[in-house]
Amino acid sequence: MFGIIKKKKKEGGGQKEEKWRKIFEEVDRLPRKERLFIYEELLRLSSPQVYEEYQRMKRLLESPAVPMVHPQYHERYYKIQKRGVRKLFDKLLFEREEHLLLIGMTGSGKTTFVKALLGSPLADSYRATVLDWNAEYEWYSSLAYFNIRRDALRYFLKLMEPSLPQEMLLLLLRRGRVSVEELERMLQLQSSEYDYRIIRALLLRLRAFEELIGTEYTRPIAKLHSVDPDLRTATTAAILADRLLDEHERELIVVEEAQSLSPEALGFLAEEGRKKRKRLVFVTNNVERVPASVLHNSIVLVFQCLPIVKFHLGVLDQYFRPEGLKKFEFYYLAPGERYKLYKVKPW
């Protein structure tokens, strides 16, 4: 794109070379904003198709979602870590592709780890969405605003009630753009074939999602602590469903309080996320709510917690003692590697 601009500049825009050379010398003395405007006009006049692509890329690069973290994060959380921990962050973001699962008691250092991880320079290769339940990411700059889209219905239903009959889901998928009243009539026609409780459960979820359509949320931090406690789980599912629609965007999604979703929903989210280029970071204090499909296919970071975690993870080493860990210490468990002990520093 800029090569074309330079080429046009060098060629003199198809006019006499000396005349255009003087014009560009004058343009180069202008402030950056005015200079860029003139170059854009030149590109628009010389090649409309290239100009259209340039404008699309410009909107993407200037999107508020690009600055993923607060600019001081590199100093305050990432750079204060020891060299070994920084190398671990870079390894997780660059070399490994698995989801991350953080297990530990409240206050054991899980969120501190996530903040330092997002502070890594390699984290800039991802877009980020952090579902903040407890206002623990307050000094992040939530700059970009998004709205939950109607097309997210198919994922919302799977995250809220994955056990619904597949035929009913297909029915909703095919008619996802009709009104709620029309869908209700269609579902009522199916009442002779399906249990009334299933029909009623579908209608309730359909009406609930209709209320959530257009709900605004922010990125990189989605502030859920201000949402009514009774609606946080549904809002979380709706935001996750909306993020799954962007299939071609490489994204790091941090799910705080992951135990609020059902084990089936977590399994579906992990499986579907891999297909949609979404890398999940599950943060939980209840390992019993984590399905085996997530435990066996994720890199697990174990912070201070009860010894029952050993049995869920299948670790029989006598020296693996999560109950003996100090605050901010954690075990790193990855397939094909021996577990290691690390400590993340708080700010």
How far apart CA 106 and CA 235 sit, in angstroms, is 23
The residue-averaged pLDDT of 206-234 equals 84
Q: CA–CA distance from 66 to each of 61, 205, 217 (Å)? A: 7, 33, 16
What is the rounded distance in angstroms from the CA atom of residue 68 to the CA atom of residue 253?
12
For residue 3, the model assigns a pLDDT of: 47
Q: Is 99 exposed, middle or buried (0-12, 13-18, 19+ CB in 10 A)?
A: buried
Of 110, 112, 102, the residue nearest 313 (C-alpha): 102
pLDDT of 114-132, one tens digit each?
989 988 888 878 888 899 9
Distances 320 to 267, 280, 337 between C-alpha atoms, Å: 26, 25, 14
Average pLDDT over every residue of 144-151: 86
What lies within 8 Å, CB to CB, of 286 at 6+ separation is: 259
In tens, the pLDDT along 282-338 reads 999 999 999 998 998 899 999 999 999 998 888 888 899 999 999 999 999 998 889
Entry field: residues in the chain: 347
Amino acid type, 242: D
Average pLDDT, the chain: 78
Is 90 exceeded by the pLDDT of residue 67? no
Which whole-number Å values give the CA distances from 288 to 89, 102, 181, 284, 285, in the listed order? 26, 13, 39, 10, 9
Q: Please, which pLDDT band fits residue 191 given cuts at 50, 70 and 90? A: low
Residues 288, 253 contacting (CB under 8 angstroms) = no
| Percent above pLDDT 70 for the chain | 66
| Amino acid (one-letter) located at 25 | E
Confirm if 161 and 208 have CB atoms less than 8 A apart: no
Does residue 62 surpass a pLDDT of 70?
Answer: no
Higher pLDDT among residues 136 and 15, named by residue: 136
